[in-house]
A and B are shown apart, each in its own frame.
Chain A
Amino acid sequence: DAGVIQSPRHEVTEMGQEVTLRCKPISGHDYLFWYRQTMMRGLELLIYFNNNVPIDDSGMPEDRFSAKMPNASFSTLKIQPSEPRDSAVYFCASSLGLRGTQYFGPGTRLLVL
């Protein structure tokens, strides 16, 4: 298995632009998680899905952030409009069961100028 796939690996954009991060979970996993990691705040859970349905989005910082999972093999995290404080590494992870091992992707390093 290729593991969790994220794209792009790096993204540099200007403030105000729309950013879309993509994730392909491990086939057969029923949970998908989006995290943000910064030096200041550590690893934060933004949202997670179970069988493509959002279960807990309480970590989504504000309305500028949205996430979708149109099918079991694809999810997106969109930031519109982006701001410099959104600069972080965004991880996607998937698991079998909520308490199962979470397998993390390589992350997307986002820099908003």
Chain B
Amino acid sequence: TQLLEQSPQFLSIQEGENLTVYCNSSSVFSSLQWYRQEPGEGPVLLVTVVTGGEVKKLKRLTFQFGDARKDSSLHITAAQPGDTGLYLCAGVTVYNFNKFYFGSGTKLNVKP
């Protein structure tokens, strides 16, 4: 089992729809990062959230860190085909600062 569980695993939607993907853990994280990976490339950082309850916006993307710092969500408004990719959350727990974890990923396909 993964320390960071992401849901859903797969999501296929039409352009213009809204969606939310989740990153959950039973462990407390000192911070969480969200990456997007496009086919044939490596992941690229979108955002880092640090404080419990923090909300960050990146154009149509809204990221939230749970109050207890055990979970995070990514909401996309009016999805576009360019949002297609694999979304990964990642971070370091407060229990072991030498351990870095990546989540299982959500594969998003936005159809035109």
Contacts and interface: CB of A to CB of B under 8 A. Distances in A.
Contact of B45 (A45, A56, A102, A105): A102
Contacts of B105: 42-43
Contacts of B2: 42
Interface stretch (B20-28, B63-71, B96-104): B96-104
The dominant DSSP class at the B interface is: strand
Contacts, number: 50
Interface residues of A, number: 20
The dominant DSSP class at the A interface is: strand
Nearest to B41: A106
Given A105-B42, A106-B42, A107-B42, A45 B101 contact: yes
B80 interface: no
Contacts of A102: 33, 35, 43, 45, 90
B100 A98 contact: yes
Contact of A43 (B30, B31, B97, B102): B102
Contact of A104 (B43, B92, B98): B43
B48 interface: yes
B48 A45 contact: no
Among B31, B41, B97, B101, the one with the most A-chain Cβ atoms within 10 Å of its Cβ is B41
5 contacts: A33-B100, A45-B100, A56-B98, A101-B45, A105-B42
Given A42-B102, A42-B104, A45-B100, 4 more contacts: A43-B43, A98-B98, A99-B33, A102-B35
Interface of B: 2, 30-31, 33, 35, 41-45, 48, 88, 90-92, 97-102, 104-105
